[in-house]
Amino acid sequence: MSGGADSTAAAWLLKQKGHELTGITLSLWDEASRCCNIEDIMDAKAACAKLGIRHYTLNLKTEFREKVVEPFIDSYFSGETPNPCVLCNEEIKFAALIKKMKELSYDKVATGHYARTAKKSGQFVLKAGKDKTKTQEYFLARLKKEELKNIIFPLGNMEKKEIKEIIKKQGLLREKPESQEVCFLSGNETPFDFIKRQRGYSGEPGGLYLNGKKIKTLDTPYFNYTIGQRKGLNYSAGKPVYVVKIDADEKKVFLGEKEETFSREFSVKDLNVLYGTGSEFKAAVKIRYLHKAAPATVKISGNNALIVFSKPQFAVTPGQLAVIYRGGCVAASGFISGEKAG
């Protein structure tokens, strides 16, 4: 329980069905802006008190730094654009919850995510939630298939407006803003600000390149840029230009026209298969959370895959998670590692 509306409503719904519950909150980061700071922990405790259920706080700060924060910084230094929430769900949240579930002899783990599980061909599968504006199966695509049988999502068949009505009617929470994406960024802090504060950076910022030629020294270090970026370049080319490539080893940021940001083929690594796929198949693929899944052919080779879109897609970005859908289910996911000519 994060102290927010969704996880609190999930607990309330389960209690109405007669389930025995214990609320678990993870303490992950001292300066967190949401979901694991001291204020949210106290909100979760208050909600559990109103619900009449036990509450535990698990201190996982060391694990969170090691498995989420440090890889987040390393990814930026490597010229990638990471998604820490995906990694947190995989490495921290669900691992901790399932471990505690077993310790307390409970049957299931439940969270306030907008997603659904179902049985298909004798195995549990992960599907999108009913509320397509809030569905979060993308962020859960790194769960292991053997974990799905232990997890339920009480909000999967509901819409956000229904949750708000429950919380208001039951008086379970005080009013507070919706949470932001990256919990360990403070206030309006950017990833670049966070990296400077955590590790500092005294190296050369690098250079900005267009048509193979250096046009200026970067105003901020190379890792403060991302594929597809147009604003904040502080350079006028007389036409719109975008970041099309980042060479972290050489500290070079390359610009190009919009069509150069589109890619048809790319590779993914650390493949996580949730639902039977085969070595080559047709699928729909998302390359970031807000991307509309696009038709593609997926070719699996060991722990990697080559994805070939039917039509080129904008800003295929190393470090982001590619989620592969098949038959209305999450079939697999992998981290974007690079592009192929396309």
At residue 38, what is the residue type? I
Q: What is the pLDDT of residue 39?
A: 83
> What's this model's pTM, rounded to 2 decimal places?
0.94
Phi, psi of 13 (to 5 degrees): -60, -40
- Report if residue 180 sits inside a domain: no
The amino acid at residue 244 is V
3-class state of residue 221 by DSSP? coil
Domain-located, residue 155: yes
Same domain, yes or no: 16 and 155: yes
Residue 192 lies in a domain: no
Q: Do 26 and 99 share a domain, yes or no?
A: yes
Question: Are residues 135 and 55 located together in one domain of the fold?
Answer: yes
Q: Which amino acid is at 169?
A: K
Q: State residue 83 phi and psi, 5-degree precision.
A: -125, 95
Q: Indicate the SS3 state at residue 8.
A: helix
Which range of residues forms the domain containing residue 280?
262-340
Q: What's the burial of 291, exposed, middle or buried (CB within 10 Å: 0-12/13-18/19+)?
A: middle
**For residue 210, what are the β-bridge partners?**
213, 255
Sheet of 213-217, strand order: 213-217, 207-210, 252-256, 242-247
Q: Is residue 49 part of a domain?
A: yes
Residue among 143, 142, 134 at smallest CA distance from 322 = 142
Please check whether residue 190 lies inside any domain of the structure: no
Query: What is the C-alpha separation between 339 and 342, in angstroms, rounded?
Result: 8
Q: b/e string for 234-271 if b means 16 or more Cβ within 10 A?
A: eeeeeeebbbbbbebeebbbbbbeeeebbbbbbbbeeb
Tens-digit pLDDT profile for residues 148-183: 999 999 999 999 999 999 988 988 876 666 665 688
Listed residues 120, 152, 170: the one ending a domain: 170
Question: Residue 181 domain-assigned?
Answer: no
Q: What is the pLDDT of residue 40?
A: 85
**Whether residues 43 and 149 fall in one domain:** yes
Question: Of residues 187 and 41, which shows the higher confidence score?
Answer: 41
pLDDT tens profile 108-138: 999 999 999 999 888 999 999 999 999 999 9
Which H or E element spans position 100? helix 94-103
Domain boundary among 238, 256, 274: 256
pLDDT of residue 342: 40
Task: State whether 212 and 72 are in the same domain.
Answer: no
Q: Where are the beta strands (DSSP E) in 60-178?
A: 109-110, 115-120, 123-128, 151-152
Query: Rounded to whole angstroms, what are the CA distances from 118 to 115, 125, 216, 282?
Result: 10, 5, 54, 22
CATH number at residue 115: 3.40.50.620
Query: 266 with 339: CB under 8 angstroms?
Result: yes
Beta carbons of 319 and 75 less than 8 angstroms apart? yes
139 pLDDT more than 50: yes
Domain total in the chain: 3
CATH of the domain at 208: 2.30.30.280
Q: For 289-325, what is each residue's pLDDT tens digit?
A: 999 999 999 999 999 999 999 999 999 999 999 999 9
In a domain, 331, yes or no: yes
CATH number at residue 299: 2.40.30.10
149 and 292 inside one domain: no
Q: Is the pLDDT of residue 276 over 90?
A: no
Rounded CA separation 320/296 (Å)? 17
In this structure, are 250 and 301 located in the same domain?
A: no
Residues near 103 by beta carbon (within 8 Å), at least 6 away in sequence: none
Of the listed ranges 35-44, 53-62, 98-107, the one predicted with least confidence: 35-44
> Are 231 and 266 within one domain?
no
How far is Cα 223 from Cα 235, in angstroms, rounded to an integer? 17
Share of the chain above pLDDT 70, in %: 95
Please tell me the number of Cα atoms within 13 Å of 121 on its side-chain side: 8
Mean pLDDT of the chain: 92
Q: Which residues are catalytic, by number?
A: 88, 183
User: Which secondary structure element, helix H or strand E, spans residue 89, and what is its range?
Assistant: none
Question: Does 165 lie in the same domain as 30?
Answer: yes
Do 150 and 26 share a structural domain?
yes
Indicate the DSSP class of residue 223: G
Task: Let me know if residue 305 belongs to a domain.
Answer: yes
Same domain, 219 and 246: yes
Identify how many contiguous H helices and E strands the chain contains and give both numbers: 8, 16
Whether 107 and 132 map to the same domain: the answer is yes
